């Protein structure tokens, strides 16, 4: 009996291994055929099956994210081939190639993420859908974020939140700059006020995002399983809010993103689709904006001249508005020229979004190199933003460089580009501007040492602790 079991086991194992080897050989043959007929970028596909994933991850975790890229750029050029996260991949650190990828439509490139990310995002996430549905959601959300009504509402709410938070700061314990902003975006998305539900949502959200880079194994006990369970709890909470809005009657004048999507006349948006996309839109509130603010404080702490000029500009605006008895508006914050250059330079150096993943829907040739159909493309922003052929002394914080430089250049893409340009980019700038204004006009501070971690996401290792002292105390 045992002999028969072993025979079956060995036979099955041989069949599996034979299939894997066959697929591997077919892929290698196809790659060689492409190489004969077209000009694939130089590079290495690494080890069978795992490619260069281990080298990519270990370099990012130890030396830093630039080590893997810089080594290959020297060897192969700004566009090179590799094999990571289970897919043959073209890395682009070339600004013009990245621009082409970002501006192409779904007939050429579609979003493509590691399997763990895809599972967490879901089938109808704004980050992965294409075509008319994506255009509809992106257009509605983008239009709402740019509306005069939201600008007035969100500016007032952000000011109140920042001032209330700062009122609780004391001199006898550090303030962790990175632990802010989540509530601001959630308010704009679902009108949820601070309280127990907000803290529960934050807790679930942190568990949800912790599974973005993990083994794509969804069984009890794994990181992906726990992340998916956390998302289910979040969806349930958001659907409860949607149901309450529906029961009480939809607001003709939208107060948040949920209202915008519920009021859409197309009838395409189910409660589940709305909840999924609202949760995905929370990602900037937990990661991007707080990190942007924390990085700006770190860079300003290390550059006294920039801090002085930023403070003078904001103090001047504050005194002017107080003389006229007027509150600060969206346009006041966004028209502070040096403050905006500080934010822009922080975005360039910080690279909160390091790049985007796409998949080629057909063979594509760009600048003489081939991207084969089915291959992943990573348009890597970080290398472009820190390239000395695009920026003098790229690792030096220099906000003055933007006083005479085009912010719409293809060598500056912190919010992506094309049809998938982040609809909340102005909102992110506004949040950072409001925080910096109230911070530098009320406090002086000393910053503790903190390190920037760049993988799997960008963050300050300790949350950017500072010790504050209010002016006049």
Q: What is the pLDDT along the chain (473 residues), one digit of tens a residue?
A: 434 434 333 444 444 444 444 444 545 545 555 544 458 999 999 988 889 988 988 888 888 878 999 999 999 999 999 999 888 999 999 999 999 999 998 899 998 887 778 788 777 777 677 777 777 877 877 777 777 777 888 888 888 888 888 988 999 899 988 777 677 778 778 888 878 888 898 889 888 888 877 777 888 989 889 999 999 999 999 999 889 888 887 777 788 888 888 887 676 788 888 888 888 888 766 678 889 999 999 999 999 999 999 999 999 999 999 999 999 999 999 999 999 999 999 999 999 988 999 999 999 999 888 999 999 999 999 999 999 999 999 999 999 999 977 777 789 999 888 888 887 788 889 989 999 999 999 999 999 999 988 887 788 888 899 999 998 65
Tokens standing for residue 127: 């980050």
Rounded Cα distance, 185 and 239, in Å: 18
pTM: 0.84
Q: Where are the domains of the chain?
A: 131-470
The architecture that CATH gives domain 131-470 is Orthogonal Bundle (1.10)
- Going by C-beta distance under 8 Å and a sequence separation of 6 or more, which residues neighbour residue 70? 383
What is the C-alpha separation between 430 and 425, in angstroms, rounded?
A: 9
Which distant-in-sequence residues (6+ apart) come within 8 Å of 7 by Cβ? Answer: none
Contact 470, 340 (CB under 8 A): no
Residue 472 corresponds to which tokens in the numbers above? 């006049």
User: Long-range CB contacts (< 8 A, 24+ apart) of 326-329?
Assistant: 327/156, 327/159, 328/155, 328/159, 328/437, 329/151, 329/152, 329/155
Taking alpha carbons only, the member of 105, 289, 99, 259 closest to residue 184 is: 289
């Amino acid at each position: 009996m045992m002999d028969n079991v072993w025979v079956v086991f060995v036979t099955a194992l041989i069949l599996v291994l034979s299939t894997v080897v066959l697929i591997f050989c077919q892929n290698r043959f196809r790659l060689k055929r492409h190489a004969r007929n077209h000009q694939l970028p130089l590079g290495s596909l690494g080890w069978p099956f795992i490619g260069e994933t281990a080298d990519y991850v270990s370099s990012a975790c130890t030396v830093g994210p630039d080590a893997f890229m810089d080594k290959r750029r020297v060897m192969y050029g700004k566009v090179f081939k590799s094999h990571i996260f289970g897919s043959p991949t073209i890395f682009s650190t070339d600004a013009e190639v990245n621009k082409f990828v970002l501006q192409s439509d779904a007939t050429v490139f579609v979003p493509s993420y590691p399997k763990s990310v895809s599972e967490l995002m879901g089938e109808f996430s704004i980050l992965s859908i294409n075509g008319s549905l994506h255009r509809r959601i992106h257009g509605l959300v983008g239009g709402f974020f740019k509306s005069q009504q939201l600008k007035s509402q969100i500016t007032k709410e952000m000011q109140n939140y920042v001032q209330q938070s700062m009122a609780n700061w004391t001199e006898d314990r550090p303030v962790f700059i990175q632990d802010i902003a989540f509530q601001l975006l959630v308010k704009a998305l679902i009108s949820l006020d601070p309280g127990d539900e907000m803290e529960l949502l934050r807790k679930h959200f942190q568990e949800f995002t912790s599974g973005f880079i993990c083994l794509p194994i969804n069984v009890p006990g794994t990181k992906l399983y726990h992340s998916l369970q956390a998302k289910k709890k979040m969806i349930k909470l958001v659907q409860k809010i949607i149901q309450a809005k529906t029961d009480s009657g939809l607001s003709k004048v939208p107060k948040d993103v949920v209202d915008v999507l519920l009021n859409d006349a197309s009838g395409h948006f189910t409660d589940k689709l709305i909840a999924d996309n609202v949760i995905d839109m929370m990602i900037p509130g937990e990661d991007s904006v707080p990190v942007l603010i924390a990085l700006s404080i770190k860079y300003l702490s290390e550059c006294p001249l920039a801090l002085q000029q930023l403070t003078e500009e904001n103090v001047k605006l504050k005194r002017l508005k107080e003389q006229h008895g007027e509150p600060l508006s969206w346009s006041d914050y966004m028209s502070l020229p040096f403050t905006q250059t500080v934010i822009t330079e922080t975005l360039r150096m910080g690279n909160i979004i390091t790049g985007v993943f796409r998949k080629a829907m057909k063979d594509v040739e760009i600048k003489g190199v081939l991207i084969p159909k089915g291959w992943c493309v990573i348009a890597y922003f970080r290398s472009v933003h820190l390239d000395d052929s695009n920026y003098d002394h790229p690792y030096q914080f220099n906000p003055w460089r933007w006083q005479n430089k085009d912010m719409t250049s293809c060598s500056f893409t912190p919010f992506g580009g094309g049809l998938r340009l982040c609809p909340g980019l102005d909102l992110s700038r506004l949040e950072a501007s409001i925080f910096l204004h109230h911070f530098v006009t009320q406090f002086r501070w000393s910053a503790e040492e903190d390190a920037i971690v760049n993988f799997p996401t960008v963050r300050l290792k300790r949350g950017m602790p500072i010790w504050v002292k209010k002016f006049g105390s």
